[in-house]
Amino acid sequence: MPELPEVETTVRAISKFQNKILKEIIVHNAHLRWKVDKNISQLSKNKLIKEISRRAKYILIHFNDSSLMIHLGMSGKLRIQNIGNNFFKKHDHIELIFDKEKIVFNDTRRFGSIHFTKSFKNHRLIENLGVEPLSREFNKDYLFEICRIKNISIKKLIMDQKVVVGVGNIYASESLFLAKIKPNRLSKKISLKECDQLTNAIKRVLRYAIRKGGTTLKDFYSADGSEGYFNLNLNVYDREDENCKNCKSKIKKVTIGQRASFFCDSCQN
């Protein structure tokens, strides 16, 4: 599943379409996670793109008075293609047409979505989301305050999109390893010092993953066709029974909230 670094990588790849006219949207299949508005092409036709940004795992294409919200879901990806290239892949559902190029939305499992909105900040899918992990708001005091009122595993807490957005399974496991905290520790027992370590670790891991172009484990590629290389630097994720790179102990696997979690019993407390 594309997480924050993969979405950010995609946003950067399509940022060249800023200050260009979106001529039209062609919908080949409207039956995604939410049915695509039948008027989306007319609503977006010939609009100037002022900015392309990200909120959580949503790609935001901003016009003067409205925005497009794109979510990649479980298997979605965007692909930049020349207008003269008629190559069409199975599961190509939507095309954003420009003068010389187009952005193609491909989604095998169809859990992705695209929405037209007048106010993305007030959209029902965005308005209740938590803070951005790379923002100043996400700090030790913020996390510690939430840890005090929650009685769940720390890994489940940092993956809660209403607490902090975009920290997916891979990055949660890697951040907890860097912060030396076991994923199944109860949030109420996490100290202020550990919250400081963890917020810094999450920022460090996500920034590094973005620099590496995200994680290509299955079928994620950026819009420009490049792979992500963060998976080459994984310390614990998907490394069960392999030696810890730090202490040579065996990496362990547990299930937390129906998600596989990986950790080193020696390095993490």
C-alpha angle 155/55/74, rounded to 5°?
A: 60
Report which of 26, 30, 66 is spatially closest to residue 47, judged by C-alpha positions. Answer: 66
Joined together, the tokens standing for residue 30 give 């409207």
Report which of 178, 182, 188 is spatially closest to residue 155, judged by C-alpha positions. Answer: 182
Reduced to 3 states (helix: H, G, I; strand: E, B; else coil), residue 93 is: strand
Residue tagged active-site, from 54, 55, 57, 156: 57
Residue tagged active-site, from 2, 5, 133, 183: 2
Active-site residue 101, yes or no?
A: no
One-letter amino acid at 87 equals F
- Identify whether the C-beta of residue 146 lies closer than 8 Å to the C-beta of residue 157: yes
Measured between alpha carbons, how far is 5 from 226 in angstroms, rounded to an integer?
13
CB neighbourhood size of 189 (10 A): 10
Active-site residue 51, yes or no?
A: no
Active-site residue 133, yes or no?
A: no
Active-site residue 3, yes or no?
A: yes
Q: Which residues are catalytic?
A: 2-3, 57, 259
